[in-house]
Amino acid sequence: MNARGAMGKYGESLAARRLTEAGLTVLERNWRCGRTGEIDIVARDGDVLVVCEVKTRRANAFEHPMAAVTPEKAARLRQLAENWIHSHGGAPPGGVRIDLVGVLLPHRGAAVVEHAQGVA
């Protein structure tokens, strides 16, 4: 695994911990769907299915992690959510929500983890 991959894995671990601390139940991590792509974290928030995109950046990065979901990326996440639901027996009673967790890694100190609900 390269440094970028390791940073992404670390960010996903921090995101999963943040979601769990917020009361969500992590169902799956890194769920792949053929050519469509990957869902970083699939979780449950009560009776709502949460498809979560995780973006990790270093503090000196050009773009803040929370600005990383473009309209194209949002459309792909919606498609991935539909594929996950189809392969796992149907939609939950509370529907589906797409969230973003941004992880900012400073040069020193603790990472900053932000969770935005319903981004797409």
* Residue ranges covered by each domain of the chain: 3-116
pLDDT score for 55: 92
Q: Does domain 3-116 have CATH number 3.40.50.720?
A: no
pLDDT exceeds 90 at position 68 = no
Convert the pLDDT of each residue in 36-64 to its tens digit: 899 999 999 999 999 999 999 887 766 77
Place 17 in a pLDDT band, splitting at 50, 70 and 90: very high
This prediction has a pTM of 0.90
Q: Rounded to whole angstroms, how far apart are CA atoms 71 and 77?
A: 10
pLDDT score for 61: 63
